Structure 1
Amino acid sequence: MKTKNLHNILTLTTIFILLISSCHAKSSKHSVKHLRIDLRHIDSTGNFSKYELLQRMTHRSHQRMIHLTRRISNLAHIESGQELGAQTDAYLGTGEFVMDVGVGTPSLSFPGIIDTGSDLVWTQCKPCVRCFNQSTELFDPSKSSTYKQLPCKSDLCKALPASQCGKTNNSCQYAYGYADLSFTQGNLSSETMTLGSQEFKNIAFGCANNNSDGFPQSSGLVGLGRGPLSLTSQLGFKKFSHCFASLDLKKKSPMLFGSLVSINASAATASTQSTPLVQNKEFPSFYYLSLLGITVGTTKLNIPSSTFALKSDGGSGTIIDSGTTLTYLQPKAYNIVRKAFVSQTKLHVADGSTTGFDLCFKATSNTTFGVPKLILHFQGADLDLPESNYFIHDKDSGLLCSTIMPSFDSAIIGNMLQQNIFVIYDIAKNILSFAPTQCEKL
């Protein structure tokens, strides 16, 4: 009898210790109060001329806009044609900024494109059925002591837009499609990830072994959207921020999480303003803003605020996005803005179609541009932009081109318009704050 009681006590003690260990493992990723990650531009390692950079950025940006706005506006319903085929609320699988993510134990570093427009974190894995070329070796889960496949009954598996149970081990097999027909498929798993100098346990990610070719100069994506699978949601930080350095520079751009998210007064060049983040139930991962109007020069343009508003069916609206380079406006709004720039700029209009831009002026290196001011009016905040954020000059071609373009339906605030602006996403309070800042000083 005593032996049986002792056995029961030992069993209960063991279970208790395991429960404590399990809770600690699950909560350890939340124990870090802050995090800094330095981003780099996706073309920073290439030997491109400025003209080539413009072409590459505008091409990626335009393709991203097409598929995003078509998806939101239901202008196109594209079937992926894959075995698990289901199109997600995510969109084009390319972006402009990359972070290095350490995966596994021992940790191996992989470059992942950051994307505020999707949720899933994933990297290419062995064994690979179909993989695109990447600069680093593929992640091999068999060589990591902390790799685990998640069961198909897990909450995060259920959060996927398309998944199925493995035939032999009941694991969660995912399919994540993007609106340009790029896709990733594999096993939803958990791993220890190293971000900056910090280690986080039990981060769910896609161990991808069947992928399209739409993710150049990376090994996968880092979703920063509002859904439960995103990196921000899993880390448990209620705030994150980024400050994109000028795209003319090859300097790194800081991304901050948690208690580090505060605007450096010595680097800021103007006061901080805030505007509400708007949620779209149809597309919950995106960060929407209330854009109310636009000023060019000294003239508040005659554009009804309803032009930029989110519709009851989830269409239109205004999104702030890390992965789109250019800024896009609804056609009616864009035509009015374009006309205002043409009438107020004392330069000759030029053909910039070879670069992909719609509005360009002839401008030699010695020209004083005299471009009119651009102010975006949001609910509770006015974003007064420097000229370099909405016009870009290429000395070789002698073109000065607007980085604002027409979309199909939705407005997209791209990352070039966000240059040298410290942007804070306060998820807990549902607020976006910003202040003009010299990002390279952070």
Structure 2
Amino acid sequence: MSVLSQLSSQGMTPSVFSHCLKGDDYGGGILILGDILEPSIVYTPLVPKRPYYAIYLQSIAVNGKILPIDPAAFKVSRGRGTVVDSGTTLAYLIEELYEPFIRAITLASSKHVTPVVSTSGNQCYRTSISNLAEAFPSVSLNFAGGVSMVLKPREYLIDGGYYNGLPSWCMGFLKAHKRLNILGDLLLRDKIVVYDIVGQQLGWANFNCSSPINVSVGIHERQRSDSSLLGGDMKFQHLATGVAALLSLNWVL
């Protein structure tokens, strides 16, 4: 049984937890036990009876244009589908999604962007344009329930250093070796991501992870930020002192 399930069974916290990973160079973030009250969060259903946090990816758009991908490529079955995993650094797409996605990014990029392949075989791009939003397209991952995760170039590209005298940027999406799409840490940064176990849904919203977050834990509501560990009732306040290490997240790309 997970720590969250144990805490919930003892009435210490709801079966809802969230994280907000900072997207700056210093990393870090917060882990929250309790319901998030931010109104901008959108939710998509979780795939039932899965060992991972699996959701229904239905289409991908680049600069607002849905990619012409066979719907069968998005099929959810045993060993297939899309999972959210903050423990995975980058994002992975199965070949049927990855190939048309990379082609679309390349075609939609500025004429001042030159595609190159890194020594490790990853798709990268050289460009002298410092404003990535002017050089590269936006990406939309569209899920069941009519909700989307919209990614700016800085949210799916990684600094690749200099390549033949120009800055290079590499895709944070790689080709999956298995039949599973994985949405990793890179795509989850600067977002509140909510895992609602009882409601069987996963939600997210763009958010400054250094800002206070409105949270409900039980009968009271409090406001907490990355430096606040207190919950909404005395039981949770005692608990917070014992799990402080869980509430301070650090990662390195």
Q: TM-score, normalised on structure 1?
A: 0.43
Correspondence for 1:241: 18
Question: Which one of the candidate residues 158, 179, 182 is aligned to 1:412?
Answer: 182
Alignment of 1:338-353 (within 5 A): 338-346=102-110, 347-353=113-119
8 Å contact from structure 1 (residues 420, 438) kept in 2: yes
Q: Deviations over 1:332-360 (max 9, x none)?
A: 1100001101111121012323xx46210
Task: For residue 274 of structure 1, report the CA deviation from its aligned partner.
Answer: 0.7
Task: For residue 440 of structure 1, report the CA deviation from its aligned partner.
Answer: 2.2
Partner amino acid, structure 2, of 1:404: F
Partner amino acid, structure 2, of 1:231: V
Q: Deviations over 1:72-123 (max 9, x none)?
A: xxxxxxxxxxxxxxxxxxxxxxxxxxxxxxxxxxxxxxxxxxxxxxxxxxxx
Over 3 Å counting, the alpha-carbon distance change for 1:320 and 1:343 in structure 2 is same
Correspondence for 1:303: 69
Q: In terms of Rg, which structure is larger?
A: 1
Task: For residue 365 of structure 1, report the CA deviation from its aligned partner.
Answer: 6.8
Partner amino acid, structure 2, of 1:241: S
Q: Are residues 1:256 and 2:32 paired? A: yes
Which has the bigger relative contact order, CA under 8 A and spacing at least 6?
2
8 Å contact from structure 2 (residues 137, 152) kept in 1: no
- 1: distance between equivalents of 2:29 and 2:180? 27
Structure with the higher fraction of residues in strand conformation: 2
8 Å contact from structure 2 (residues 64, 140) kept in 1: no
Correspondence for 1:193: none
What SS does the aligned partner of 1:325 have? coil
- 2: distance between equivalents of 1:332 and 1:240? 33
Equivalences, count = 199
8 Å contact from structure 2 (residues 129, 135) kept in 1: no
Alignment of 1:226-375 (within 5 A): 228=1, 230-236=2-8, 237-246=14-23, 248-259=24-35, 261-263=36-38, 271-280=40-49, 284-311=50-77, 314-346=78-110, 347-353=113-119, 356=120, 358-364=122-128, 366=130, 369-375=134-140
Partner amino acid, structure 2, of 1:406: K
Q: Which runs of 5+ in 2 are unaligned?
A: 9-13, 213-253
Task: For residue 399 of structure 1, report the CA deviation from its aligned partner.
Answer: 1.3
Partner amino acid, structure 2, of 1:273: V
The sequence identity of aligned pairs, in percent, is: 27
8 Å contact from structure 1 (residues 323, 415) kept in 2: yes
8 Å contact from structure 1 (residues 364, 395) kept in 2: no
What SS does the aligned partner of 1:372 have? coil
Correspondence for 1:384: 150
Task: For residue 394 of structure 1, report the CA deviation from its aligned partner.
Answer: 4.1
Q: Deviations over 1:284-315 (max 9, x none)?
A: 3211000000001131101133312222xx12
- 2: distance between equivalents of 1:255 and 1:244? 9
Q: Are residues 1:424 and 2:194 paired? A: yes
What SS does the aligned partner of 2:22 have? coil
Partner amino acid, structure 1, of 2:69: I
Over 3 Å counting, the alpha-carbon distance change for 1:428 and 1:374 in structure 2 is same
Q: Which runs of 5+ in 1 are unaligned?
A: 1-227, 266-270
